[in-house]
Structures are given as C-alpha cells and as structure tokens.
C-alpha cells in the first residue's frame, strides 16, 4: 500500500465511530444540562495567539506545534490546545457584552507534533468547557463537576480529584523566590530541562516526571504559606463548593500550571483504584489569559479532557457503551424478482424514519441474510415471489429467528411497533 495516514494520526473507522457518536452525544447532553453552549473555532489560528495564549518557552509552543506560512506569508498554527482560541473568540466578538458569565464548550481536534505513543496521537480530540467572566470559586467547582459527573455517569466510579492553588500575581512571586532558593542548592542534581526551568519558571520543576527531580520536589516548600488572603479565600471557596456537592478531593501541592497567567485553581482528575490510576483531565483558572491576548482582564476557568483517553480508560475498566448504529430493517428479495418493490419499500421506510438497508446486487437470499447480520439488522423483510403476488411479506426477527407473514399494506407501522417494543 503506497499511502498511509500521516504518522501519528488515526482514522476513526465505523467499528469505533459509533462509540465516538455515543460519547459526543452524552457530552453535549451534559454540557447543555450545565448551561454551556457550544463554540466552534477554526482549526487554525495566527501563531501569535498560541505564542501569547499558551506561552513562549513552553514545550507546546517550542516543540509541538504544526506551524507554517500561508500563501500570504502569515504564520499560522494548527490548534495545539483549546482554551487560547476560545478566549481569542470571546474577545474578538465581545461575548461578555450581553452579560456574564459566559459558559462555552467545544469538542474539537487538537494537533501536537510530539512522540506518538499508545493513546496519544498527533491529532487527538478534546472535550473542554470554559466559564468566562466570573472570578467566583463556585465557577471553578461547577466547571470541574461537569466532567466528574460525566465520568461517573459513564460508570467510572473511582474518580479522584487532585486540587491545588498556584496563587496569583500578588503572591506567587514570593513563592517562586522560595523555590529558587530551595532548588538553587541542588542545581547539579536537576535534569537538564529543569535546570532551564529553574531560570524560566521554577514552578514547572514541580511537574517534572524525572525521578531525580521528583525526589527533590517532595521536600520542596509548598505554596500554602505564601498564598495571599484573596487566594486563600478563593481556594477555600472552591473546596467548600466541592464539599457541598460531595465531590471528594486531595490537596496536592505538586499540581501546577506553570504559566504566568494561570491563577489560583489547578486540578487534575484521575480514574481507577489507587496505584493503577489513569489521568483523565486537567483544569484550572486562567485570569491572566485575556490580558495576555491583548484584551481587557476577563477571569476564566475551564478544563480539557481527551476523548481518545476517555475511550481507552472505559475499555480498560471493562465498561461497554450501548451500541446504537445497527439498521432496523433489512429488505431482502429472493434474488430474481422484487427488485423494484424492494427498492421502493426501502425508500418508503427511510422516509418514515426507519433505518433500512438492502442488497443493491440482489444476491441469493443466504448472502443477503449474511449482509443483514453484518449490518446488525433487527428485522428482515423478505419479498418472495409468492408473497408479492399476495401483497404480503415475510418478516423475520433476526435475534430469535421467528418468522411471520404480514400484509405489505401497513407493514411499516407494524415494523415500527415491533421495533419500539424491543
Ligand atoms: Zn526535571
Ligand atoms: Zn494571591
């Protein structure tokens, strides 16, 4: 085979896409229940949106973006994450003008040029939601509760929330100074990336997965003694609101969002029993992002959850999704005659709202029944020569194999009744 999909990108084939449809519908239902409305931004933005909105010096912007010049010589990038584009659109269309908060969600492909690995693709898909225009901790708890309740509804019972505050412009600098002082004593022991982070933003050392850094991190000062009163109140407010919902969480000082415009709440949510946990999604508050993009200050909080990841975890935990993509009725002929009647009947069934299919080649009946099975048909309608002469059809229940003869007149209604009953 000469051509393959681009490395790190995957086709979602019919054997998988029904799960996507199920999840997407569930996600939309949940988002609408929580009062979020959908936003669809273009797949491309001017590169600057992400340089400003994700941050220069981050791995995403430095190493992982698909960036190219268009024919007019402008630098464009495929969206590597969801929030910056949403905030860009919010500012561009002044969405807060008719009142706040503004609650937006999206299901969208994201693109990152990183090492392809299991469950991670260079094009992957994310469900995210943002509450813009309110600094209130209730918004943080609300936006986090949406994906948590969704996970629980899907059957993921062991949901663990890790919660932290990363402070704000008023108090974080003092904490960063304390981290510099601490890690400054161990510079030689840090990994090369962290030695660079030490200069740029030592907060991000706390995030490092390298064992040698991780060991030092465990003894590092936490932010809690450094939080200002406002940040402290906010953090307590988020916890209080989660308590009210009965959502349990662990305070985890090593959950950081290492960019300057992230403020206060940082959260990561895991699924599964302790020791075998899967990271499910991350979220946080980004009150500095709108100004970073050149707009007025707009407080915001949100999360992003990978759909490939969610599907993988559901599979690993043995949770089956209900399959709903089969056809209702397969219309078969005995092969030689009835082509016209079958073709017309299919058309009538489809106009009446049934999912109906047939064999365009009218092969022998056995081959048609095989096709009916493959399509997941619940009923087969067989138009034999004798049946047609009598104005009848044979209706076979594909699961039980039971057959009955029904008049063609009123057949669609009769089938609809049977389908609704099962
Ligand atoms: Zn490190
Ligand atoms: Zn503060």
What distance in angstroms lies between residue 140's CA and the mean position of ligand 2's atoms? 16
Cα 128 to Cα 137: distance, rounded to the nearest angstrom: 18
Residue 119 has a pLDDT of 65
Q: Based on the domain organization, do 165 and 232 belong to the same domain?
A: yes
Residue 336 has a pLDDT of 82
Q: Is residue 189 part of a domain?
A: no
What distance in angstroms lies between residue 26's CA and the mean position of ligand 2's atoms? 37
Place of tokens 């916890």: 239
Give the 3-state secondary structure of the chain. CCCCCCCCCCCCCHHHHHHHHHHHHHHHHHHHHCCCEECCCCCEEEHHHHHHHHHCCCHHHHHHCCEEECCCCCEEEECCCCHHHHHHHHHHCCHHHHCCCEEEEEEEEEECCCCCECCECCEEEEEEEEEECCCCHHHHHHHHHHHHHHHHHCCCCCEEEEEEECCCCCCHHHHHHHHHHHHHCCHHHCCHHHHHHHHHCHHHHHHCCCHHHHHHHHCCCCCHHHCCHHHHHHHHHHHHHHHHHCCCEEECCCCCCCCCCCEEEEEEEEECCCCCCEEEEEEEECCCHHHHCCCCCCCEEEEEEEHHHHHHHHHHCCCCCCCCCCCCEEEEECCCCCHHHHHHHHHHHHHCCCCEEECCCCCCHHHHHHHHHHCCCCEEEEECHHHHHHCEEEEEECCCCCEEEEECCCHHHHHHHHHHHC
Q: Based on the domain organization, do 256 and 395 belong to the same domain?
A: no
Residue 275 has a pLDDT of 64
Are 63 and 113 in contact by the 8 Å Cβ rule? The answer is yes
What parts of the chain have a pLDDT lower than 50?
none
Residue 125 has a pLDDT of 96
Are 183 and 271 in contact by the 8 Å Cβ rule? The answer is no
Residue 274 has a pLDDT of 60
Dihedral pair phi/psi, residue 35, rounded to 5°: 80, 20
Q: Based on the domain organization, do 118 and 266 belong to the same domain?
A: yes
Domain with 417, as residue range(s), is: 329-421
Q: Based on the domain organization, do 153 and 270 belong to the same domain?
A: yes
Q: Based on the domain organization, do 152 and 253 belong to the same domain?
A: yes
Are 137 and 229 in contact by the 8 Å Cβ rule? The answer is no
Beta bridge partners of 302: 130, 284
* Ligand nearest to the backbone CA of 191: 1
What distance in angstroms lies between residue 184's CA and the mean position of ligand 1's atoms? 13
Q: Based on the domain organization, do 365 and 237 belong to the same domain?
A: no
Cα 86 to Cα 88: distance, rounded to the nearest angstrom: 5
Q: Based on the domain organization, do 339 and 309 belong to the same domain?
A: no
Strands in 300-306's sheet, in edge-to-edge order, are 37-38, 102-111, 123-132, 300-306, 278-285, 263-271, 159-165, 249-251
* Ligand nearest to the backbone CA of 165: 2
Q: Based on the domain organization, do 98 and 160 belong to the same domain?
A: yes
What distance in angstroms lies between residue 62's CA and the mean position of ligand 1's atoms? 17
What distance in angstroms lies between residue 112's CA and the mean position of ligand 1's atoms? 22
The two three-digit tokens of residue 42, written as one number:
């273009």
What distance in angstroms lies between residue 220's CA and the mean position of ligand 1's atoms? 13
Q: Per residue in 127-166, pLDDT tens?
A: 999 999 999 999 999 999 999 999 999 999 889 999 999 9
* Ligand nearest to the backbone CA of 167: 2
Are 307 and 151 in contact by the 8 Å Cβ rule? The answer is no
- The count of C-alpha atoms lying within 13 angstroms of the C-alpha of 310, restricted to the half-sphere facing its C-beta, is 29
Beta bridge partners of 89: none
Residue 117 has a pLDDT of 74
What distance in angstroms lies between residue 292's CA and the mean position of ligand 1's atoms? 27
Q: Is residue 4 part of a domain?
A: no
Q: Is residue 140 part of a domain?
A: yes
Cα 317 to Cα 272: distance, rounded to the nearest angstrom: 8
Q: Is residue 79 part of a domain?
A: yes
Q: Is residue 311 part of a domain?
A: yes
Last residue of a domain, one of 316, 347, 374: 316
The two three-digit tokens of residue 282, written as one number:
């991350």
Q: CATH code at 300?
A: 3.30.930.10
* Residues, beta carbon < 5 Å, ion ligand 2: 167-168, 170-171, 228, 231
- Helices 229-245 and 137-153 pack at an angle, to 10 degrees, of 30
Q: Per residue in 295-305, pLDDT tens?
A: 999 999 999 99
Q: Based on the domain organization, do 356 and 307 belong to the same domain?
A: no
Q: Is residue 19 part of a domain?
A: yes
What distance in angstroms lies between residue 88's CA and the mean position of ligand 1's atoms? 32
Count: domains in the chain = 2
The two three-digit tokens of residue 149, written as one number:
């309740």
Between the alpha carbon of residue 181 and those of residues 186, 188, 221, the distances in Å are: 10, 14, 10
Residue 56 has a pLDDT of 76
The two three-digit tokens of residue 371, written as one number:
């096709």
Dihedral pair phi/psi, residue 259, rounded to 5°: -110, 155
Q: Based on the domain organization, do 294 and 337 belong to the same domain?
A: no
Q: CATH code at 361?
A: 3.40.50.800
Q: pTM of the prediction?
A: 0.92
Cα 126 to Cα 146: distance, rounded to the nearest angstrom: 14
Q: Based on the domain organization, do 281 and 374 belong to the same domain?
A: no
Cα 405 to Cα 27: distance, rounded to the nearest angstrom: 42
Last residue of a domain, one of 316, 344, 377: 316
Q: Based on the domain organization, do 333 and 311 belong to the same domain?
A: no
* Ligand nearest to the backbone CA of 194: 1
């Amino acid at each position: 085979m000469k051509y393959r999909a681009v490395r790190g990108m995957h086709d979602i084939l019919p054997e998988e896409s029904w799960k996507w449809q199920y999840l997407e519908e569930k996600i939309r239902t949940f988002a609408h229940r929580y009062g979020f409305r959908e936003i669809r931004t273009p797949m491309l933005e001017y590169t600057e949106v992400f340089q400003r909105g994700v941050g220069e010096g981050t791995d995403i912007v430095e190493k992982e973006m698909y960036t190219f010049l268009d024919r007019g010589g402008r630098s464009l990038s495929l969206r590597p994450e969801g929030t910056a584009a949403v905030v860009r659109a919010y500012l561009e269309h002044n969405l807060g003008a008719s009142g706040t908060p503004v609650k937006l969600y999206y299901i969208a492909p994201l693109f990152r040029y990183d090492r392809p690995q299991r469950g991670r693709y260079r094009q992957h898909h994310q469900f995210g939601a943002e509450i813009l225009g309110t600094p209130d901790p209730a918004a943080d708890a609300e936006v986090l509760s949406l994906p948590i309740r969704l996970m629980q509804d899907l059957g993921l019972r062991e949901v663990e929330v890790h919660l932290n505050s990363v402070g704000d412009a008023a108090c974080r600098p003092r904490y960063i100074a304390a981290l510099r002082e601490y890690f400054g004593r161990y510079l030689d022991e840090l990994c090369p990336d962290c030695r660079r982070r030490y200069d740029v933003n030592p907060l991000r050392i706390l995030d490092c997965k390298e064992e040698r850094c991780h060991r030092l991190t465990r003894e590092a000062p936490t932010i809690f003694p450094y939080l200002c009163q406002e940040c402290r109140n906010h953090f307590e407010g988020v916890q209080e609101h989660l308590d009210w919902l009965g959502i349990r969480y662990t305070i985890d000082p090593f959950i950081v969002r290492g960019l300057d415009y992230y403020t206060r709440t940082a959260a990561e949510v895991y699924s599964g029993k302790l020791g075998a946990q899967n990271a499910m999604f991350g979220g946080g508050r980004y009150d500095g992002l709108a100004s970073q993009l050149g707009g007025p200050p707009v407080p915001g909080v949100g999360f992003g959850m990978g759909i490939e990841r969610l599907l993988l975890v559901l599979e690993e935990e043995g949770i089956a999704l209900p399959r709903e993509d089969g056809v209702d009725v397969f219309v078969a002929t005995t092969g030689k005659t009835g082509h016209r009647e079958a073709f017309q009947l299919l058309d009538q069934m489809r106009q009446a709202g049934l999912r109906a299919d047939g064999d365009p080649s009218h092969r022998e009946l056995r081959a048609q029944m095989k096709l009916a099975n493959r399509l997941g048909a619940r009923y087969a309608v067989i138009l034999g020569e004798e049946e047609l002469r009598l104005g009848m059809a044979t209706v076979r229940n594909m699961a039980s194999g039971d057959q009955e003869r029904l008049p063609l007149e009123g057949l669609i209604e009769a089938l609809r009744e049977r389908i609704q009953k099962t």
